[in-house]
Amino acid sequence: MAGSLSRGRRYVLLLLLLCGFGVVLFRLVTLQVLQAAVLSAQADRQHQKTVSLEGARGTIVDRHGKILAMNVEVPSVFGVPNTVDSPLKTARQLSPILHVRTDELERKLRQDRRFVWLARKLDPEQGRRLDRLSLDGIGVVMEGRRFYPKGPLLAHVLGFSGMDGEGLEGVEHRYEPYLHGEKRMMVLQRDALGHTVFPKGMMERSPTPGHSLTLTIDEVIQYIVERELEDAVGRARAKSGTMIVLDPKTGAVLAMAVSPRFDPNAVSALSRDRWRNRALTDTYEPGSTMKAMMAAAAIEERVVRPNTMVFGENGHMMVANTVIHDHERLGWVSFAQVIQKSSNIGAVKTGMALGEQRLYRYLQAFGFGQRTEIDLPGEGAGLVSNPRDWGRRSIASISIGQEIGVTPLQMVSAVAALANGGVLMKPYVVSEIRDAEGQILKQIPPQTRRRIVSPETARSVTKILEGVVTDGTGGKAAIPGFRVAGKTGTAQQIDGDTKTYSTSRFVASFAGYVPSDIPRLAMIVIIDEPQDKKASGGSVAAPVFSRVGEQVLSYLGVPSDAPITLAMASRR
Amino acid sequence: MKTLTVFLGLCLVFVFVWERVDVVRIGYQIERLKRDKTVLERQRDELRVKFSTLSASDRIAKLATEKLGMSLPQQGQIIVVQSRPRPSGVHPSGIALVELKVARNDLPSGRF
């Protein structure tokens, strides 16, 4: 009896034990298997704090490898408020180093937060002084800070990046996917009491830097362009200025400048108006520079030849109840002289002979009314309306560069096409993308868009445009020892109040190329609203073309292709 | 025999411990070198920025004109000529023959 009771007790005991183990096993499976992921994440949240840091941003260099933008690792300081014993004392020690007010630092260190930035992207020396202090609850982490060592040079093309390292404008924005480095998540460990345990290696470099970009820009050419443009805008007391230099064979942008300039190292206080790249965002009525393209279209379509005689109507002609004026009373002149003297009447007659549809077709072929697709953000398409929307006067207006809106980049691309034997190239500013080890990941070759006119037509137009400089309105664009082809433009601007052409506000421009037989440079100079009412493209913009052209050709070692005369040598 | 076995055993333990200590020592050395490398790379980057800032064209031009009294050449003072050696080769004097595309009579006397 006793034995059976004992056995019964043993079974009960065994059952109880099994139940107990079953409960433990069930709980174990629940915690370790069924709820494992949730609980693990919860535990991580309790004893870890994750901070996101960006990797080093890629470097931007000019075509000769000169640094235009690069990242340097600089210290950023953070606090862990719940581990700071005396926020006031700590704030007093930090204030003179961080150049932040004591009360502001103290307020941050008293916050009920586990992590707070105290100051970011400081100078390296400030970081070294902080290291020597070695304060409890204060940590230093290295972050990439963007430096533009050339200051304002090329700022409108480079753009700039924000505090968190993201590209906000220009090349920095357009090539963000290549430039940005890998994001690094820094994990701060906390103990059971919630105290932060600084992990090892906090001062290590950010991982996986971004790719580097090689631009087509030449730093020296860019400097020459910016210096001369700033000088011209200042002398003309103009509102702004724009200049672009292209290699006509490839479409590579050698320089692109906007005046006034800005410093991308200190951009926070500036308005968008200041850092907008007007060379490709703003449209303007080109005025007489458009006659070069109109001439190419008319010669290609055999509407005229350079020696075709055109009657200048003695300076006045009525078109659709509007009088078209010339600044010079012309009688019978050759078509070449129409362009060289910048005759509006001759151009209008030629445009009308060409006809609306053909004129529109060539405007499109030269790239007006559509983006050039340059690798920069914010490009405008310009304004070219369809012939069905044109008024009675439109063909006359468009023939002389009115009723049409173009960007400076479109205009210089069109002129470069004439320099390139009639072939339009796509403009571009980035030629290579390299990884952090310097290996080429991508090479961007020149891209041909289309042939617009034949090489013979391009040569004829070049001869005519050479005459603009030797015998016409563009005399001040001449460069001693070189044959220059180009066209002046002085376009009135629309008055916002009267909706008519202003008599005081205008855009003076010169677009051309040099040396004209084997062109190395295609350039456009635009001076917006010079104060002198008598200023013109020939008097304000052409001299900039000449000065820049001479210096750049000398820098590139391009030999003279024309005799130098004493008159030219002593022109200035 | 027994003594030899104990001795060999001790030797093995000693080698094992020695190896572990060495691994730890080299590990520390690697860490220290990594830190040094990081610091040097940071210094290199700082110097690259400094070099790039100091070699900016506008700074050099400013120094040249304001401190050294230099000036930009006036228009027409720069003439680039194409160097084109004759088929026979270089002149015996060693000077490459050049073809001047400049009308010599037009050059200002005494300046070139």
Q: What are phi and psi of A187, to 5 degrees?
A: -100, 120
What CATH architecture applies to the domain A50-99+115-191+210-215?
Alpha-Beta Complex (3.90)
pLDDT tens-digit readout, A283-311: 999 999 999 999 999 999 999 999 999 99
**Mean pLDDT of all residues in A93-119:** 88
For chain A, give percent helix, strand, coil, nearest 5: 40, 25, 35
Is the previous residue joined to A445 through a cis bond, with omega within 30 degrees of 0?
no
For domain A219-569, give its CATH number from 3.40.50.2300, 3.30.1490.20, 3.40.710.10, 3.50.50.60.
3.40.710.10
CA distances to A514, A547, B72, B79 from A571, rounded to whole Å, are 18, 12, 16, 15
Chain A (104-133) residues lying within 8 Å, Cβ to Cβ, of chain B: 124
| pLDDT tens readout for residues A146-194 | 999 999 999 999 999 887 778 899 999 999 999 988 776 666 666 665 5
Query: Is the torsion defined by CA of B2, B8, B12, B18 positive or negative?
Result: positive
Which residues does chain B have within 8 Å of residue A554's beta carbon, measured at their own beta carbons? 78, 80
Task: To the nearest 10°, report the CA torsion of A85, A91, A94, A98.
Answer: 140
Provide the pLDDT for residue A328.
84
User: What CA–CA distance (Å, rounded) separates B53 from A153?
Assistant: 11
Give the count of alpha carbons within 13 A of A203, CB side only: 20
Partners of residue B56 in chain A, C-beta under 8 Å: 149-151, 153, 223
The rounded distance, in Å, linking the Cα atoms of A389 and A97 is 66
Which of A67, A553, A563 faces B102 most closely, judged by CB atoms?
A563
Give B67-98 as a DSSP string: TS---PPPTTS----EE--BTTBS-TTSPPPE
Amino acid at B12: L
Structure tokens given for A448: 């041909």
Q: Is A252 left (phi over 0), alpha (psi -120 to 50) or beta?
A: beta
ipTM, two decimals:
0.72
Residues A240, A528: contact at Cβ < 8 Å?
Answer: yes
Handedness of CA A248, A249, A251, A257 (dihedral sign): negative
Q: What is the pLDDT of residue B89?
A: 46
How many domains are contained in chain B? 1
Nearest Cβ partner of B108 from A72, A227, A566?
Answer: A566
Torsion of CA A82, A87, A90, A94, to 10 degrees: 100
Range A500-529 burial, b when 16+ CB lie within 10 A, else e: eeeeebbbbbbbbbbbbeebbbbbbbbbbb
Which residues on chain A are in Cβ contact (under 8 Å) with B77?
A: 569
Range with the largest mean pLDDT of A105-114, A202-211, A240-249? A240-249
Residue B76 near residue A479, CB atoms below 8 Å = no
β A60-61/A212-215 pair status: parallel
User: Distance between CA atoms of A411 and A407, rounded to whole angstroms?
Assistant: 6
CA distances from A29 to A14, A32, A40 (A): 22, 5, 14
Note the pLDDT of residue A201.
44
Residues A240, A509: contact at Cβ < 8 Å? Answer: no
Please list, in sequence order, all residues whose beta carbon lies within 8 angstroms of the beta carbon of residue A8, skipping any fewer than 6 positions away.
Answer: none
**Degrees, nearest 5: CA angle A133-A135-A139:** 105
Model confidence band, residue A74 (pLDDT cutoffs 50, 70, 90): confident
d(CA A380, CA A30): 62
pLDDT confidence of A436, banded at 50, 70, 90?
Answer: confident
Asked if the structure places residue B39 within a domain, the reply is yes
Q: Which is higher by pLDDT, A55 or A334?
A: A334
Lowest mean pLDDT segment, chosen from A49-63, A358-372, A500-514, B46-60:
A49-63
pLDDT at A346: 94
Burial of A424 (0-12, 13-18, 19+ CB in 10 A): buried
Q: 3-class SS at A507?
A: strand
Q: Domain range spanning residue B47?
A: 2-62
pLDDT at B98: 42
Instruction: Note whether B29 contacts A: Cβ–Cβ < 8 A.
Output: no
What is the longest distance spanned by two Cα atoms in chain A?
144
Q: How far is CA B66 from CA A151, A222, B70, B73, B74, in A?
A: 20, 21, 8, 15, 17
Q: What is the CA A190 to chain-centroid distance, rounded?
A: 45
Backbone angles phi and psi of A271, in degrees to 5: -85, 165
Give the residue among A29, A448, A419 at the shortest CA–CA distance from A245.
A419
B11, part of any domain: yes
Tokens found for residue A170: 């220009």
- CB of A53 closer than 8 Å to CB of A183: yes
C-alpha of A393 from chain center: 37
Task: With cut-offs at 50, 70 and 90, classify the pLDDT of residue A4.
Answer: low
CB contact under 8 A, B46 and A124: yes
Is A100 near chain B, with CB under 8 Å? no
Give percent of chain B above pLDDT 90: 35
Residue A540 pLDDT greater than 80, yes or no: yes
| Burial of A116 from C-beta contacts in 10 A (0-12 / 13-18 / 19+) | middle
Q: Touching check for A480 and chain B: CB below 8 Å?
A: yes
Q: What is the pLDDT of residue A83?
A: 83
CB A289 within 8 A of CB A511: yes
CA distance to partner chain B, nearest, from residue A487 (Å): 21
Coil, strand, or helix at residue A240? strand
Q: What is the pLDDT of residues A168-179, one digit of tens each?
A: 999 999 999 999
Between residues 29 and 58 of chain A, which touch chain B (CB distance below 8 Å)? none
Question: Is there a domain that residue B18 lies in?
Answer: yes
Residue A565 — very low, low, confident or very high, per pLDDT cuts 50/70/90? low
Sign of CA dihedral A410, A384, A174, A227: positive
SS3 state at A509: strand
User: Cα separation of A58 and A437, whole Å?
Assistant: 11
d(C-alpha A269, C-alpha A272), whole Å: 10
Residue A528 confidence (pLDDT): 94
pLDDT (tens digit per residue) in A254-288: 999 999 999 998 887 777 788 899 999 999 999 99
Confidence at residue A259, expressed as pLDDT on a 0 to 100 scale:
93
Q: What share of chain B is helix, strand, coil (3-state, %, to 5)?
A: 60, 5, 35
Distance between CA A536 and CA A488 in Å, rounded?
A: 8
By residue count, chain A amounts to 572
**Nearest CB to B75; choose among A149, A223, A572:** A572
A67 pairs with which residues across the strands? A61
Considering chain A, what is the average pLDDT of its residues?
88
- Catalytic positions of A, please? 288
The residue-averaged pLDDT of A218-240 equals 96
Cα separations (Å) of B24 from A52, A265, A280, B13, B27?
A: 31, 45, 60, 17, 5
Predicted confidence at residue B92, as pLDDT, reads 45
Strand partners, A48: A189
Radius of gyration in angstroms for the set of CA atoms belonging to chain A, rounded to a whole number:
34
- Give the whole-angstrom CA distance, residue A213 versus residue A157: 13
How many inter-chain contacts (A to B, CB under 8 Å) are there? 109
Q: Picking from A53-57, A72-76, A274-278, which range would have the lowest pLDDT averaged per residue?
A: A53-57
Beta carbons within 10 angstroms of residue A311's beta carbon? 13
For chain A, what are the domain ranges?
Answer: 50-99+115-191+210-215, 219-569
- Per residue in A398-422, pLDDT (tens digit) is 999 999 999 999 999 999 999 999 9
**Residue ranges of chain B whose pLDDT lies below 50:** 89-112
- Let me know if residue B32 belongs to a domain: yes
Residues of A in contact with B102 (CB under 8 A): 481, 560, 563-564
Q: Does pLDDT of A569 surpass 80?
A: no
The answer to the question of residue B69 being in a domain is no
Residue B7 CA to residue A350 CA, distance in Å, equals 110
Would you list the DSSP string of A436-454?
A: TTS-EEEE----EEEE-S-
